[in-house]
Structure 1
């Protein structure tokens, strides 16, 4: 009688450490974002290209390192790799203080991408490893809320501290990342037989492949990469799209999307667990597509906001649903590498769609950006439905 109760008990102290550590790590990572463009221009007289390179360099190493950090978390423990990520974020903040040239500053940003990938990926698999099976999707969703919350708070506080000088921002980045390290270290682990620091024993499910080619991650990752087109279009062009129609409050659409994105995961984030990851992924992709089409056709702000709300609900649940599909088809001992590969498809999608949506906007106009995003979201649904169903769950001795 006690076994079922144990399965549904949430390890609250561990979750607080993981969520809090991720939140603080992203606050430290993103506090520099709003001040870096001015810093680069002021110190180096840099071009727009150089400014963009400095700000976005982290995405390149994050894309490449996520599968590696997931593999290391599987082998050496989730907490250790997450601690390493927080340390790298703190070290990156400290390196801002040095009188670096522009190439060295780019290298610092590349290093921070390694820290971000290690922090996020190890924590994501740690969450799955300790979550009750029937609440994995919900906790994956809340983990994403912690990340986006850290990004929002970090960018706000970074901008707010700029009047006190760049050094205040750099010092804050170091301090909050170290606070994240303390929280991660405070999270207790439950070692499994033969695995250090929270690792998991092997199983009989799929694990083949390396890097982005981890087999269980390929189709769900492709669906995630396709869905990224809609988000990239919304972030880059919704303000310009509405301005072209005489609406000057396009930022409200982005705010509405962000609020609904977080609220959906907080209040109905359990749906992938309750209704099934495949079903929720299909409905979520359809919701993203519908919202994007509404935005494309919107004649005024209220209709555009409605589209952002519909898109936000769908997009919010798509990632945890697809992540569950990856986990259900992956050997437990390889889940870190699998979730790292899966998440890298998001980085890859943004890298590809960023330039392509600009080409679409230039050639066909702003509404075409959202129509193209809707087509990609529909394609994501098709890909998600092609993911083979998992085999029987392996039993785990307690």
Structure 2
């Protein structure tokens, strides 16, 4: 199938916004569920289930590890059965994860069984994220055309982090006023809403005759961009997994503003500066972004007040914002259009790997030192990402 044949037959031409809005709203609903668990599960596992910081980190990272391990399957399903099929399968699993979360909350006086159910829910939630987001992103690019793939990635990312920024404080408020069960019940409702806004959209045509490149070869093709994304994502992982516990340890009150400012500045940066990768190049934009992110992580590490932590979260949001689209556009150019879902799955797998490993690693650091010390880990990881991208940009320019 050629690039020109990516439009859906029989569907009239619409504006970019009119075409992509249902997909973006659907992704926002999916990531509301992610944000709600990030805002409440670390404290729930730590306090109600009386677990260590390492267990908190493992629970936080399990979802991303499950997403990572199913990226190849999600990409294959998207490319062979259609993006709509993949996305809606993911929504069904989110609903299932919500039911398991509720089951855990009903027996949380029995710590080990409740923890086992939470772990199972995190695994199911991770698989669902893999299917839903790979399907949604491929669906969006297919609907508007590959020439607008960077724009689709930009708005997809806005929906993702808006969901996290809204979902975390919303869940914190719901848990404190209504109880954790209401948070988990909302996780059951959101995939239904996500399905409703997209069910009328046509599936993408599938080229069943295309000879597929093995997943491991796709990973090899996009490895430089993927590794840059992975190390850059660790700063976000440190905020999402441990910022609430840092506020609790320091008696700084409600951590909602930290989540909200990260998400707000992440979104504003994408809205106003999404053209920078096209104007200045993906590598250059990523390197500057990483410098800002590292500064934010170091501010959190040295902070003596919640205001400085919130400023650090804001800088991290600004720095992290453009890295995914800047490097993602470079990544999908390395594969054929029929392999776009697989390439997106492979690229996003590096993000999943970072989040899956960063949670337990940061938990160990927090146990040995303090919750603030994990942001040294985030800063060093950002520097490693910059080093990898700098070397690759030099290699590319020389070749």
Shift, 1:270, TM fit = 2.5
> Taking structure 1 as reference, are residues 39 and 296 closer, same or farther at Cα in structure 2, changes over 3 Å only?
closer
* Structure 2 residues without counterparts, runs of 5 or longer: 8-12, 108-112
- Which residue, 213, 220, 231 being the options, matches 1:226? 231
Aligned partners of 2:163 and 2:19: how far apart in 1? 18
1:1-398 alignment, distance < 5 Å = 10-28=15-33, 30-31=35-36, 46-48=49-51, 56-96=61-101, 101-102=113-114, 103-104=116-117, 106-133=119-146, 135-162=148-175, 163-164=177-178, 168-191=182-205, 194=207, 208-210=213-215, 214-235=219-240, 248=252, 251=255, 255-296=260-301, 307-357=312-362, 369-385=374-390, 386=392
Once the 2 structures are TM-superposed, how far is the Cα of residue 82 of structure 1 from its aligned partner? 0.4
Q: 1:41 to 1:346 in 2, by over 3 A?
A: closer
Q: Distance in 1 between matches of 2:19 and 2:40?
A: 33
Q: Judging changes above 3 Å, is the alpha-carbon distance between structure 1 residues 78 and 304 closer, same or farther for their aligned structure 2 residues?
A: same
In structure 1, the gaps of 5 or more residues are: 196-200, 391-398
Deviation digits for residues 108-144 of structure 1, max 9, x if unmatched?
Answer: 4322221111111221222333345554323212211
Distance 2:301 2:60 in 1: 29
Distance 2:62 2:20 in 1: 30
Q: How many positions carry a matched residue from both structures? A: 373
User: How far off is 1:73 after superposition?
Assistant: 0.5
Three-state SS of the structure 1 residue aligned to 2:199 is: helix
Q: Secondary structure at the match of 2:322?
A: helix
Q: Residue 357 of structure 1: CA displacement?
A: 4.1
Question: Which TM-score applies when normalising by structure 2?
Answer: 0.76
Note the aligned Cα RMSD (angstroms): 4.1
Query: TM-score, structure 1 length as denominator?
Result: 0.76
Flag the structure with more relative contact order, 1 or 2, with Cα contacts below 8 A and sequence separation at least 6: 2
Q: 1:242–1:84: structure 2 CA closer, same or farther, 3 Å change rule?
A: closer
Q: Secondary structure at the match of 1:93?
A: helix
Cα deviation digits, residues 306-345 of structure 1 (max 9, x gap)? 5544433221111111111211112222221222122122
Q: CA deviation at 1:183?
A: 1.6
